[in-house]
Amino acid sequence: MREKLEQIKKKAMEAMEALHDLDQLEEFRVKTLGKKGELTLVLRGMGSLPPQERPVIGQLANEIRTALEKALGKKTVELKEAALEKRLEEETIDVTIPGKQPDLGKLHPLTKMLNELEEIFLGMGFDIAEGPEIEWDSYNFEALNIPQNHPARDVQDTFYINDNILLRTHTSPVQIRTMLKQKPPIKIICPGRVYRSDAVDATHSPIFHQIEGLVVDKNITMGDLKGVLDVFAKQVFGQETKTKFRPHHFPFTEPSAEVDVSCAICRGEGCRVCSHTGWIEILGAGMVHPKVLEYCGIDPKVYSGFAFGMGLDRITNLKYGIDDIRLLFENDIRFLKQF
Ligand code: DAH
Report whether pLDDT(144) > 90. yes
Residues 270 and 196 in one domain: yes
Last residue of a domain, one of 90, 125, 140: 90
Instruction: Note whether residue 30 is domain-resident.
Output: yes
Alpha-carbon radius of gyration of the chain: 44
pLDDT value for 155: 62
Q: Tell me, using a 6 A CB cutoff, whether residue 308 lines ligand 1.
A: yes
Instruction: Note whether residue 235 is domain-resident.
Output: yes
Residues 79 and 121 in one domain: no
Residues 201 and 329 in one domain: yes
Substitution site in 150, 248, 250 for ligand 1 pocket (most atoms within 8 Å of beta carbon) = 250
Region of poorest pLDDT, from 32-41, 144-153, 217-226: 32-41
Q: Tell me, using a 6 A CB cutoff, whether residue 232 lines ligand 1.
A: no
Instruction: Note whether residue 222 is domain-resident.
Output: yes
Instruction: Note whether residue 96 is domain-resident.
Output: no
Total domain count, the chain: 2
Here the CATH number for the domain that contains residue 202 is 3.30.930.10
Tell which atom from ligand 1 comes closest to the C-alpha of 306.
Answer: 13
Last residue of a domain, one of 90, 124, 154: 90
Mean pLDDT calculated for residue range 293-320: 96
What rounded mean pLDDT belongs to the chain?
91
Domain that holds residue 286: 109-336
Residues 260 and 141 in one domain: yes
Distance CA 216, CA 171 (A): 17
| Best CA proximity match to 61, nearest among 2, 148, 125 | 2
Residues 271 and 164 in one domain: yes
Note if the bond before 51 is cis, omega within 30 degrees: no
Q: Tell me, using a 6 A CB cutoff, whether residue 117 lines ligand 1.
A: no
Instruction: Note whether residue 104 is domain-resident.
Output: no
Residue 310 near residue 210 (C-beta atoms within 8 A): yes
pLDDT value for 209: 97
Residues 126 and 214 in one domain: yes
Residues 81 and 228 in one domain: no
Residues 56 and 133 in one domain: no
Residues 77 and 142 in one domain: no
More reliable by pLDDT, 113 or 40: 113
Instruction: Note whether residue 29 is domain-resident.
Output: yes
Last residue of a domain, one of 42, 59, 90: 90
pLDDT value for 156: 63
Report whether pLDDT(273) > 70. yes
Residues 256 and 322 in one domain: yes
Mean pLDDT calculated for residue range 50-58: 83
Residues 86 and 113 in one domain: no
* pLDDT per residue as tens digits for the range 2-39: 788 888 888 888 888 888 888 888 888 888 888 888 77
Ligand 1: centre distance to CA 330 (Å): 26
| In the chain, % of residues over pLDDT 70 | 99
Residue 275 — φ and ψ, nearest 5°? 50, 35
Residues 76 and 159 in one domain: no
Kindly list the distances between the CA atom of residue 139 and the CA atoms of 83, 127, 300, in Å, as whole numbers in the listed order: 79, 21, 19
Instruction: Note whether residue 102 is domain-resident.
Output: no
3-state secondary structure of 333: helix
* pLDDT per residue as tens digits for the range 253-265: 999 999 999 998 8
